C-alpha cells in the first residue's frame, strides 16, 4: 500500500540523520485541507523528547532527506508537522491501476485464514423487523469485506430452537389464545402469539410453571415437545430467510442449537468446565443449584439453571468450542429452500455428510446487539478458563446499538407514538415493530409517489435501507428516518447510487476508443500537469484501499459509507463545474470517470448495494 512506501521513504530519511525508527513510529494522516498536502506525520513531536531536539529542527532534517517517486514535495509546518504531496505521475498511474484492476482494486493482501461470521440469528418467535435487519446488514457487509480480502469466510446463522422463547411459542400454540387463522405466515402468527403469551405470563404464575415444563422437555430432546419445536421453528426460519433473500442476504450454514444437545457437545463442554475451579455450583441464595462461571469484572454468569437446563450462554460455549475445532464436528445436510443462489447447509445430529470447512476457525466474528455483551464476555471468559486463551483472543464481538424510528416515520407507518416522543424504539417484546417486508413496501411506495415507476426501484429501495443502517458507527443507536434514507441530495444510498448512474451516463456517450488497456490509459492521461479539480478526485480515489482495510480491521462498514458519500460529493461537484465530453481534456476526464464508476461499484458492492445503470 502507498502508506508503506511513504513510511519507508520517511524511515530512510531519518536514518540519514542517524535517527533510528520503526514503521510503527510513523503515523500518517490525511490533512483536512488540501493546501497541507496529501499526507502528514507528527513524527518529529514523538522524537523530540527522546532526541532532546526541537520538533521543527527534526522535521526539517527528515523532510530534506525524503526521496521517492511517489512524493513531489515536502514542507514543514509549525510546530513540527511534515506535510507531503503526491506526484502527478503517481496520481495518473493510480487512476490507470483502478481501471485495469477493475473489481479487484482495493482488495487487501490475501489472508490464508478461516473466519466464521455469525450474524442475524433472529429468535424464531419474532417476525423479522428493521432492528434485526441492522444485524444482517452489518454481518453481510463484513462477509463481503472478508471475501474481497480472499479470506476463507463462512456466514453462520445460529438457529435457537431450544430456548425460552421457543417454550413460550409452544405454550401459546397449546393455549391458542391467539388463533393462527387469518395470519398470512406462520412467523406473523408466532410474533403476535409470543407478545400475547408473554403479557399473560406476567399476570399468571401457572402459565410460567407450564412454560418451564415445556422448556425442560425441549431440552431433553427425545420428546414430542422437542419434535414440535424443531418442525415449527424450521418453518419459521424458512420464512425468515425468504424475507432476507429479498435484500440478497445469504448464509453458508445454519447451526441448530438442538444439534449441540443431540450431539452431546453440551455434555462434553459441561464435563470440561467442571474440572475448573472458576466454574462452580452455587450452594445457597437465589442462585442455589445453578452453575456459574466466575467473571473478572462483572457478576458471575449463570451457565446452567437450577433445573439443569443450560442457558443460551452455556450452549454457546459449546458452539464456540466447535467453531474452533476443539469439540467433535457436526454432520451436515444441504438444504434447498430456494432462498439464495449459493449452497446452504444445516447441521444435523444423524446422517448428512462430514465436512471440515465449517469449523477449525482461525477467528470468529459474532454480530450481536449490545444487550448481549455480558453473555458474549462470559463465553470468552469460559474459553480462557478452559485454557483456550489464543482462541479467546481471536473471538470478536461486534455489538451494535438499537434501532428507533423517527416520530414522522412511525406516523407514516401508522404506528402508535406517545405524546411528546421524538422517536419510537423497535421492540418485539412490546409489539412496537414493523416487518421488513412492510417497511420495504412503504419505501417503494414513497419512491413511486416521488418519481413514478422505474426499472431500478428495487435496487434503490434496498440500497436506501442498507446504507441508512450501515452509515452509523455500529456502537451508535440508529434513528431511522424514511425521508432521510431516500433523500437524493443527502447522505443516503440513493445519493451515492445516483452519482454512479450519472458517471455511467457519461461513459455511455463516450467514444469506444476510451475502453482500453493500461498502457493506453496512461497515454490518455497525458503528460501535462493535472489540474487541481482532477487531483481532488484522484486524491479521494486512491484512499479506497486504505478505507477497505480499515473497515475490515475495525469491523466498521460505516467507514465505507462515509468514504463513498465523500467521493460522490467530490464527483458531483466536478461534474457540475467541468465539461467532460468535448473538453480539451476529454480523454483524461473520461478515464477519471471510469475510475470513479469502478470505485463506486466496488464500494457499494461491499455494502451489498447495487450501482444501477439508470435511475
Strand order in the sheet with 331-335: 331-335, 344-348, 253-256, 152-159, 114-118, 363-367, 395-398
DSSP 555: T
| 148 neighbors 107 (Cβ within 8 angstroms) | yes
Distance CA 258, CA 608 (A): 31
Query: Considering only CA atoms, which of 614, 591, 605, 606 is closest in space to residue 537?
Result: 591
The C-alpha cell at 174 is 397449546
* Each residue's pLDDT tens digit, 430-468: 656 788 999 999 999 999 999 999 999 999 999 999 999
Least reliable range by pLDDT among 7-11, 259-263, 426-430, 477-481: 426-430
Does the structure show a pLDDT above 90 at 317? yes
Domain 114-257+313-398: CATH architecture, name and number where available: 3-Layer(aba) Sandwich (3.40)
The answer to whether 2-86 and 114-257+313-398 have equal CATH topology is no
Distance CA 51, CA 289 (A): 62
DSSP 108: P
Start-end of H helices in 452-585: 457-470, 482-485, 493-509, 518-525, 532-541, 544-553, 558-577
* Each residue's pLDDT tens digit, 488-539: 999 999 999 999 999 999 988 887 777 666 555 666 667 788 999 999 999 9
Average pLDDT over residues 94-118: 92
Q: Locate the domains of the chain by residue range.
A: 2-86, 114-257+313-398
* Each residue's pLDDT tens digit, 255-266: 999 999 999 999
**Top-level class of domain 2-86:** alpha beta
Classify 315 in phi/psi space as left (phi over 0), alpha (psi -120 to 50) or beta.
Answer: alpha
| 456 neighbors 612 (Cβ within 8 angstroms) | yes
pLDDT of residue 520: 57
Distance CA 114, CA 118 (A): 13
Average pLDDT over residues 35-53: 92
Distance CA 272, CA 318 (A): 10
Amino acid at each position: 500500500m502507498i502508506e508503506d512506501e511513504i513510511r519507508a521513504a520517511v524511515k530512510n530519511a531519518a536514518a540519514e540523520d542517524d535517527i533510528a525508527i520503526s514503521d510503527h513510529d510513523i503515523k500518517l494522516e490525511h490533512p483536512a485541507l488540501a493546501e497541507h498536502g496529501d499526507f502528514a506525520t507528527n513524527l518529529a513531536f514523538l522524537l523530540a523528547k527522546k532526541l532532546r531536539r526541537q520538533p521543527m529542527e527534526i522535521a526539517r532534517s527528515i523532510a530534506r532527506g525524503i526521496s521517492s517517486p511517489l512524493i513531489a514535495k515536502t514542507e514543514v509546518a509549525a510546530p513540527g508537522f511534515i506535510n507531503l504531496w503526491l506526484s502527478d505521475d503517481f496520481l495518473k498511474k493510480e487512476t490507470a491501476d483502478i481501471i485495469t484492476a477493475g473489481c479487484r482494486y482495493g482488495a487487501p493482501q490475501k489472508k490464508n485464514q478461516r473466519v466464521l461470521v455469525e450474524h442475524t440469528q433472529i429468535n424464531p418467535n419474532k417476525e423479522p423487523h428493521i432492528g434485526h435487519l441492522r444485524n444482517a446488514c452489518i454481518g453481510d457487509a463484513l462477509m463481503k469485506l472478508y471475501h474481497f480480502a480472499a479470506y476463507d469466510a463462512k456466514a453462520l446463522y445460529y438457529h435457537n430452537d431450544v430456548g425460552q422463547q421457543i417454550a413460550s411459542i409452544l405454550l401459546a400454540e397449546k393455549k391458542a389464545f391467539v388463533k393462527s387463522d387469518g395470519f398470512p405466515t406462520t412467523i406473523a402468527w408466532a410474533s403476535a402469539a409470543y407478545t400475547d403469551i408473554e403479557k399473560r405470563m406476567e399476570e399468571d404464575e401457572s402459565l410460567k410453571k407450564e412454560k418451564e415444563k415445556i422448556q425442560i422437555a425441549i431440552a431433553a430432546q427425545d420428546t414430542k415437545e422437542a419434535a414440535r419445536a424443531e418442525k415449527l421453528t424450521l418453518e419459521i426460519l424458512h420464512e425468515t430467510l425468504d424475507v432476507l433473500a429479498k435484500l440478497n442476504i445469504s448464509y453458508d450454514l445454519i447451526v441448530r442449537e438442538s444439534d449441540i444437545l443431540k450431539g452431546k457437545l453440551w455434555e462434553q463442554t459441561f464435563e470440561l468446565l467442571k474440572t475448573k475451579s472458576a466454574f462452580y455450583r452455587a450452594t445457597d441464595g437465589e442462585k442455589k443449584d445453578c452453575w456459574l462461571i466466575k467473571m473478572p469484572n462483572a457478576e458471575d454468569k449463570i451457565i446452567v439453571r437450577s433445573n439443569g437446563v443450560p442457558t443460551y450462554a452455556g450452549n454457546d460455549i459449546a458452539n464456540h468450542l466447535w467453531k474452533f475445532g476443539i469439540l467433535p464436528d457436526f454432520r451436515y445436510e444441504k438444504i434447498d429452500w430456494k432462498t439464495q443462489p449459493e449452497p446452504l447447509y444445516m447441521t444435523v445430529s444423524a446422517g448428512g455428510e462430514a465436512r471440515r470447512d465449517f469449523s477449525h476457525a482461525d477467528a470468529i466474528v459474532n454480530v450481536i446487539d449490545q444487550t448481549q455483551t455480558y453473555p458474549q464476555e462470559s463465553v470468552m471468559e469460559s474459553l480462557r478458563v478452559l485454557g483456550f486463551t489464543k482462541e479467546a483472543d481471536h473471538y470478536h464481538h461486534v455489538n451494535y446499538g438499537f434501532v428507533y424510528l423517527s416520530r414522522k416515520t412511525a406516523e407514516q407507518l401508522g404506528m402508535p407514538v406517545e405524546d411528546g416522543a421524538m422517536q419510537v424504539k423497535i421492540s418485539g417484546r412490546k409489539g412496537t415493530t414493523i416487518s421488513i417486508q412492510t417497511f420495504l413496501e412503504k419505501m417503494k411506495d414513497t419512491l413511486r409517489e416521488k418519481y413514478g415507476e422505474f426499472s431500478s426501484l428495487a435496487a434503490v429501495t434496498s440500497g436506501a435501507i442498507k446504507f441508512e443502517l450501515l452509515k452509523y458507527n455500529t456502537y451508535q443507536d440508529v434513528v431511522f428516518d424514511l425521508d432521510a434514507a431516500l433523500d437524493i441530495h443527502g447522505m443516503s444510498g440513493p445519493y451515492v447510487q445516483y452519482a454512479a448512474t450519472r458517471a455511467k451516463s457519461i461513459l455511455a456517450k463516450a467514444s469506444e476508443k476510451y475502453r482500453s488497456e493500461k498502457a493506453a490509459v496512461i497515454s490518455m492521461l497525458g503528460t501535462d500537469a493535472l489540474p487541481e479539480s482532477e487531483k481532488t478526485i484522484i486524491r479521494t480515489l486512491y484512499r479506497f484501499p486504505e478505507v477497505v482495510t480499515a473497515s475490515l480491521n475495525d469491523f466498521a462498514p460505516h467507514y465505507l459509507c462515509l468514504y463513498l458519500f465523500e467521493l460522490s460529493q467530490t464527483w458531483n461537484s466536478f461534474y457540475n463545474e467541468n465539461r467532460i465530453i468535448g473538453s480539451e481534456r476529454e480523454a483524461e476526464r473520461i478515464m477519471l470517470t471510469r475510475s470513479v464508476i469502478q470505485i463506486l461499484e466496488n464500494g457499494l458492492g461491499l455494502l451489498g448495494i447495487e450501482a444501477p445503470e439508470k435511475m
